[in-house]
Amino acid sequence: MARMLELALYLCLFMCLILTCYAQTCAKYAFSSNRVFKSCTHLPVLNSFLHYNYDVSGKLEIAYRHTGITSSRWVAWAINPTSKAMVGSQALVAYQLSDGSMTAYTSPITQYQTQLQEGELSFDVSDLSATYANNEIIIFATLGFPNNDTTLNQVWQEGAMSGNTPQMHATSGPNVQSMGTLNLLSGQAGTIGGRTSTQRKQDIHGVLNAVSWGILMPLGAIIARYLKVFKSADPAWFYLHASCQFSAYVVGVAGWSTGLKLGSESPGIQYDAHRTIGIILFCLGTLQVFALLVRPKPDHKYRVYWNIYHHLVGYTVVILSVINIFKGLDILEPEKTWKNAYIGVVIALACSGVVLEAYTWFLVLRRKRSESAGKLSQGINGAHGNGVNAHTANC
């Protein structure tokens, strides 16, 4: 009992320490300029915080703080007055110039492929400045909202620099999750309707392709490779193999189509290797489906060439499928659980293949030994019978 109380005490102290550290990180943060902000919110991604003072007259004084960042990157915080998206955002941008000085300016975002060109915003901005110290960039500004909106659509971002020119930010992981709403009265920050429409399409694309190309295709290859050695499984193995591969193809085409749709809706965002492999897989998969329509009969003289083609293309599809699934996981950057789960599936399929390969060779070799023994027995019996018949004839 005493140990339980002691453990509970340590747990309480630990939680208090965490809460204290969090408070010091946000609400208790002391600015070097002695500025004081009544409200603060810890933004959910990109190590960012928003400190602000809001006046009911529509005046908003902010300090956007981005921590854990180097001097070779830019940061931005924006408000989108018209929609819950990046395009249309009215941004405050800051970064360190090559001479060591800081620059801060306004930039309206009119397209996805933006280099954050300087321009006027749709609302008043004054007292705009920025500082960089201790791997932390802070943007200070005062904004004016004539319509007195108390709930804002906010976007925050960071990316690399090339000289004194901002480059495109990352298009996966936290960089596509850095948007949400902010209630100026309560200080509550939230995500915009959970995952965005694009993120949901990415999830569907990933699941469809992982199940089809990444699981059903290898499984169908295993069925064809190892079930047909069992005489009792003929012709059931063929129908299982064909059903599995055709299902994989249909689901895979659906996943491939969602990928094309995502590409058309994301101009300027390209994953060349992932896209190229996906197109190759679609072409090879389509060839495999049509190859079934011209499959020669087992005793046809061209059947051996068809088998070579079919096996070569099939194993190529399986290998490229697994590679492209991992490339897709690297792009989406989901929780590690998903990647670990697929690694587990691949390992399970590979181990099954190794065990079945060994067992198949065992069956084949045993069958050949039985057939050889049978032929030898028949030869001996035949020779013995011929000797007896000759002896009878001589008699």
Which parts are annotated binding residues?
A: 205, 241, 274, 310
- H helices of the chain, in order, are 2-25, 197-211, 217-226, 236-264, 272-291, 303-332, 336-394
On the CB side of 212, CA atoms within 13 Å amount to 21
> Which position has the token pair 């180097």?
70
| Tokens (6 digits) for 79 | 């408000």
For residue 148, give the nearest of 60, 83, 88, 53 by alpha carbon.
Answer: 60
Measured CA to CA, the distance from residue 268 to residue 86 in angstroms comes to 14
Compute the distance between CA of residue 210 and CA of residue 251 in angstroms, rounded to an integer: 10
Whole-number Å distance between alpha carbons of 41 and 50? 5
* Run of H or E including 59: strand 59-67
Cα gap 318→312, rounded to integer Å: 10
- Give the contacts of 67 (CB within 8 A, at least 6 positions apart): 47, 48, 49, 135, 136
How far apart CA 180 and CA 158 sit, in angstroms, is: 16
- Tokens representing 355 are 């065990």
Q: Which residue has the tokens 């789960």?
A: 341
C-alpha angle with apex 223: 221 to 227, nearest 5 degrees? 135
Residues 104, 92: Cα–Cα separation, whole Å:
7
296: left (phi over 0), alpha (psi -120 to 50) or beta: beta
Annotated binding site for heme b: 205, 241, 274, 310
* DSSP labels, 71-128: TTEEEEEEE-SS-SSSTT-EEEEEEE-TTS-EEEEEEE--SSS--------SSEEEEE
Task: Give the span between the Cα atoms of 19 and 188, in whole angstroms.
Answer: 17
Structure tokens at 302: 């061209």
